[in-house]
Structure 1
Amino acid sequence: MEPCYTASSILVTVNTLQGKKMVESGLQSGDFSIPTSWPSCLPLPADVEILQQKVAGLQRELEDFKKEALVSIHSLEDAFCEMNRALGQQEEQAARVKQRLREEEDRGVVRNKVLTFLLPREKQLREHCRRLECMLLDRGCAHSVPRNVQAH
């Protein structure tokens, strides 16, 4: 049996049993020369030249691909660094905005506490001023003055 192996566009037929026998006999005899039946299997020099040209072309294409891949990788790294920088700036800005919001909320809480304290006091003071004005001017504002103040 001769299994066929394909390498690029070259069809290679391998007789493993014959190869094994040749290696074993070569090892025993010390002769590693190629048998005369093999030259018909070897590719022609023109084919070898064509193959070498194809291999050289593929190597050039591979080098070009490597260069293009490296350029693309560097471009991606630059874009990634730029995005990280922009993200850092956005995070800093968001932190500043959050801090300002916390400060504004704190001021709002303080304002509410002050207003909660001052509004009832203002109402009391307005009533007291009205009573005092009525007493001072003696206008007879008794109808607007509460009874507990009239008694005094």
Structure 2
Amino acid sequence: MDPLYQAGSIFMKVNTLQGKNMVESGLQSGDFSLPPSWRPCLPPPADVEMLQQKVAGLQRELEDFKKEALQAIHSLEDAFCEMNEALAQQEEQAARVKQRLREEEDRGIVRNKVLTFLLPREKQLREHCQQLEGLLLGRGREALGIPKKFQAN
């Protein structure tokens, strides 16, 4: 590709502050025109117009990109909020489950204590009942002087 214009070594004194101010004011106002003293350094008008069209196209693309980026950011924010809500619900549910487990464990501990108390008592009561049955059905009758079998007259 041929350069738009060729220049040899040119030594120039450049006021960078002035150039910076020009660029900033041009960016703010949208005016990118150059001062008349710079006109000899410019490429031909046809090339300038083509460049201006390219710049305008790039500016449109930039605006479109900005809109798409903002939409993507809003979508991400919405998704993030939804995820936070779901996470909060999951944490709440996990806390309720942990609480129920603790309560169930407490009930289990109480049940175990009750069973450890009642099982030996049950064994004692069974033994006592067997003793009473034995007294009532057999040996107890003899001790009381009652014959084992009644005989009918």
Q: Normalized against structure 1, the TM-score is what?
A: 0.69
Alignment partner of 1:43 is 2:47? no
Alignment partner of 1:85 is 2:85? yes
1:128 counterpart letter in structure 2: H
- Distance in 2 between the 1:71 and 1:14 partners? 49
Report what 2:107 is aligned to: 107
Report what 1:140 is aligned to: 139
Change (3 A) 1:11 1:123: farther
Change (3 A) 1:51 1:101: same
1:87 counterpart letter in structure 2: L
Change (3 A) 1:117 1:102: same
Aligned pairs for 1:1-152 within 5 A: 13=7, 15-17=9-11, 19-20=12-13, 34=37, 39=40, 41-137=41-137, 139-140=138-139
Report what 1:6 is aligned to: none
1:123 counterpart letter in structure 2: K
- Distance in 2 between the 1:10 and 1:119 partners? 105
SS of 1:140's equivalent?
helix
1:47 counterpart letter in structure 2: D
Change (3 A) 1:33 1:117: closer
More strand by share: 1
Change (3 A) 1:33 1:46: closer
Instruction: List gaps (5 residues or longer) in structure 1.
Output: 1-8, 24-31, 142-152
Change (3 A) 1:128 1:63: same
Identity of aligned residues (%): 74
Change (3 A) 1:80 1:33: closer
2:139 counterpart letter in structure 1: G
1:132 Cα shift? 1.2
1:34 Cα shift? 3.8
Q: Normalized against structure 2, the TM-score is what?
A: 0.68
RMSD: 2.8
- Distance in 2 between the 1:56 and 1:118 partners? 92
Structure with more relative contact order (C-alpha pairs < 8 Å, separation 6 or more): 2
2:119 counterpart letter in structure 1: L
